[in-house]
């Protein structure tokens, strides 16, 4: 394995984050803090408990997941799209580095940045809501698995996109609506039976439910099913990326 090449890609991507700290780190943390202020402190104090958990505490996992999904996709897609846009991807493809090592470099950096944002949001939430994490090990596992899975998805999106506008279509038009409708601000058990069944077709429900279970021991779906769904999604993304590099789809064109 070419560790020097992996480190070069990884640290190049991380250095880009350090050059744009306000946009890459501060902006998503600040945006999520506003949700905590409005929904957690202001509205949450006027609402009752959900499954024995105060509303302010209940929405913490959903808000972290909302930022985590969007940032994972954004970081990974932009990271691989820029070499395509500038033409430097041909230098990367001609270098003594294989597809697996390229993925580790780009996706590893995107995952690291997303996890950092998730941890910062988690610490920021403590300023507004007093909460406890019941299963910290599982919480870290869900955080890492979700960030890495959607970074892989973002990598696919960055290869597929042929313009900056297309980079924003999936996060804005698909991921964000699915997250809001996936139980970020409510339990799907509060919905009528028909809508509960329909909501189970939303894959983000399983991510939020499993992540919330790691905090409070409550979940809308079985935690084992949540882990299974994340692993299946990761496997699908890896399969698609394997096909992309094998066929050279939008890489060697």
The Cβ-side half-sphere exposure at 168, using a 13 Å CA radius, reads: 3
Q: Percent of the chain at pLDDT above 90?
A: 38
Structure tokens at 155: 């990598």
pLDDT for the residue 253: 60
Q: Which helix (H) or strand (E) holds 29?
A: helix 27-35
Average pLDDT on 180-202 reads 87
Residue 235's pLDDT is what? Answer: 95
| Model confidence at 47: pLDDT above 80 | no
DSSP state of 25: I
CA distance 3 to 108: 13
The two structure tokens encoding residue 190: 């509060």
Which of 129, 176, 152, 163 has its CA nearest to residue 241? 152
**Which residues fall within 8 angstroms of residue 248, CB to CB, at 6 or more apart?**
none
**Cβ(199)–Cβ(181) below 8 Å:** yes
What is the pTM (predicted TM-score) of this model?
0.90
Three-class SS state of 48: coil
CA 103 – CA 241 distance, rounded (Å): 9
Can you give the pLDDT at residue 54? 84
pLDDT of residue 117: 92
Tokens of 90: 């041909």
Query: Which is higher by pLDDT, 20 or 209?
Result: 209
Tell me the per-residue pLDDT of 58-109, one tens digit each, with 9 for 90 and over.
888 998 998 999 889 999 999 999 888 888 888 887 888 888 899 999 999 9
Residue carrying the six token digits 């892989």: 152
Model confidence band, residue 215 (pLDDT cutoffs 50, 70, 90): very high
pLDDT band at 26 (very low <50, low <70, confident <90, very high): confident
């Amino acid at each position: 394995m070419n560790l020097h090449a992996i480190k070069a890609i990884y640290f190049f991507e991380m250095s880009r984050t350090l050059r744009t700290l306000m946009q890459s780190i501060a902006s998503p943390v600040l945006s999520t803090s506003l949700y905590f202020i409005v929904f957690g402190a202001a509205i949450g104090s006027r609402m009752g408990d959900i499954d024995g958990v105060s509303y302010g505490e209940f929405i913490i996992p959903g808000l972290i997941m909302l930022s985590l999904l969007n940032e994972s996709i954004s970081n990974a897609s932009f990271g691989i799209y820029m070499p395509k846009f500038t033409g430097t991807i041909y230098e990367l493809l001609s270098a003594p580095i294989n597809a697996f090592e390229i993925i580790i470099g780009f996706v590893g950096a995107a995952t690291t940045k997303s996890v950092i944002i998730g941890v910062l949001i988690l610490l920021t939430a403590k300023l507004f809501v007093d909460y406890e994490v019941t299963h910290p090990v599982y919480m870290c596992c869900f955080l890492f698995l979700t960030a890495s899975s959607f970074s892989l998805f973002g990598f696919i999106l960055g290869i597929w996109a042929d313009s900056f506008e297309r980079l924003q279509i999936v996060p804005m038009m698909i991921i964000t609506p699915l997250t809001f409708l996936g139980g970020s601000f409510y339990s799907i058990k509060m919905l009528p039976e028909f809508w509960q069944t329909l909501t189970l077709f939303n894959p983000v429900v399983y991510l939020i439910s499993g992540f919330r279970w790691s905090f409070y021991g409550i979940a809308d779906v079985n935690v084992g099913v949540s882990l299974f769904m994340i692993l299946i999604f990761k496997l699908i993304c890896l399969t698609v990326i394997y096909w992309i590099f094998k066929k050279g789809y939008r890489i060697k064109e």
